[in-house]
Amino acid sequence: MIVGAYAAAPPDLASRPDLEQEWYRRLRQTPGTTGLELPFASTLHAGGMARLAHLLDPAWRNVVTCIPGTGRILPTDPLYGLASNDPAGRRRALTDMRTVHTEVTALTDLLGEGSVQAIQLQSAPNRTVAASSVGAFTASLAELQALDWRGAALMVEHCDAFLPEAAWAAQKGFLTLKEEIAAVQDAEASGTRLGHTLNWARSVIETHDPLEASRHAVLLREAGARTALMFSGVSPEATGYGVAWLDAHLPCAPELSCPGIPENTGAEPTSLLTTEAMGALLATAGPLMYAGVKVGAAPEMTSIGQRVQPTLATLGALTTLTAQTRSGSPS
């Protein structure tokens, strides 16, 4: 299981080496973890790749996500993005991806082949403020595919798309999944593998419909696409994580017993990420390149133990559910 624990990390982690060491020690000891989702903002780690390699389990097969950097830049540079129709904005995004390539190469040199199995990239910009297109995204994917990613796949991480008919504003507003599938198919050639990552919550946020993630999985399966799944929750109500429908990486609902986690400590009662929803997406998606969880922490959670608990609850639920699915027992 891939664990997107960065979403729950203490906010002062980077400036406190002792706290950072303890945080990663806790993650290395978490049963079932096969890798982390590593966030790229302007770098994978401010202390350099040697420091990051020291913190990671050398046996892990990690995944890099570029959404933190994309989200950081878009408020002040709305033309930025790999799908941008603005040539300069698209070039700025490609320049950042070349930095990702440099750092992934360095990290792989330190940890060994396979230590980074995928890079998740996004089809920005937000269409509510800037123009984007399949053609521009295809061109970006083709250029990135030509680089040597040391065996890692390039996975388009779907975020909520801009839907003109929606009664709410898009949070990300990127390309639709059908457009992303078309771009991957148009760009695909020999060399670096291309695929798609679905995040359960981000698909649901797009239409405010808990069934949307499974619909998206059907589209990918019918396209014969390489697929990965990440599980985050979302609530139609305000919670300790923020306002209703916010992409705040909520944990699962407290309905599936998790070994070693009494009474689902860390679960969110109003989360739409239920056992049924998780199982439906797993069953619909079919074979996966990887699966995992990305769960945040509410502001009042201050200690490492408190901040990691929602992740543990959701990881435990997903691990239990996948084990039941493999054994054929009811969930």
The angle at the Cα of 64, spanning 62 to 66, to the nearest 5 degrees, equals 170
Which parts of the chain sit beneath pLDDT 70? 190, 256-264, 324-331
Q: Is 253 left (phi over 0), alpha (psi -120 to 50) or beta?
A: beta
CA distances for 85 relative to 90, 91, 110, 125, 132, angstroms: 7, 10, 37, 9, 5
Q: Would you state the pLDDT for residue 260?
A: 46
Which residues neighbour 108 within 8 Å (Cβ) at sequence distance 6 or greater?
Answer: 115, 116, 150, 152
Tens-place pLDDT, residues 213-267: 999 999 999 999 999 999 999 999 999 999 999 999 999 998 755 554 444 578 8
Fold (topology level) of 2-327: TIM Barrel (3.20.20)
Q: How many CA atoms lie within 13 A of 323 on its CB side?
A: 12
Phi and psi, residue 67, nearest 5° = -65, -35
CB atoms within 10 A of CB 15: 10
CA–CA dist 104, 149 (Å, integer): 7
Handedness of CA 101, 81, 172, 197 (dihedral sign): negative
Phi and psi, residue 23, nearest 5° = -60, -50
Q: Would you state the pLDDT for residue 321?
A: 81
- Residue 282 corresponds to which tokens in the numbers above? 């797993």
Query: Distance between terminal CA atoms of the chain?
Result: 19
Q: Would you state the pLDDT for residue 14?
A: 82
3-state secondary structure of 134: helix
pTM as predicted: 0.93
Q: In this structure, are residues 90 and 82 in contact, taking their beta carbons and an 8 Å threshold?
A: yes
Tens-place pLDDT, residues 154-173: 999 999 999 988 889 899 99
DSSP letter string, 260-289: TBGGGTT--TT-S--HHHHHHHHHHH-S-S
Residue ranges of the domains in the chain?
2-327
Q: Would you state the pLDDT for residue 326?
A: 59
Phi and psi, residue 293, nearest 5° = -130, 145
CA–CA dist 223, 217 (Å, integer): 10
CA–CA dist 3, 204 (Å, integer): 20
Q: Would you state the pLDDT for residue 319?
A: 87
Q: Would you state the pLDDT for residue 267?
A: 86
CA–CA dist 97, 279 (Å, integer): 34
Handedness of CA 208, 214, 220, 225 (dihedral sign): positive
Closest CA to 159 of 188, 111, 122: 122
In percent, the amount of the chain with pLDDT more than 90 equals 82
Closest CA to 96 of 116, 71, 115: 71
> How far, in whole angstroms, is CA 224 from its chain's centroid?
21
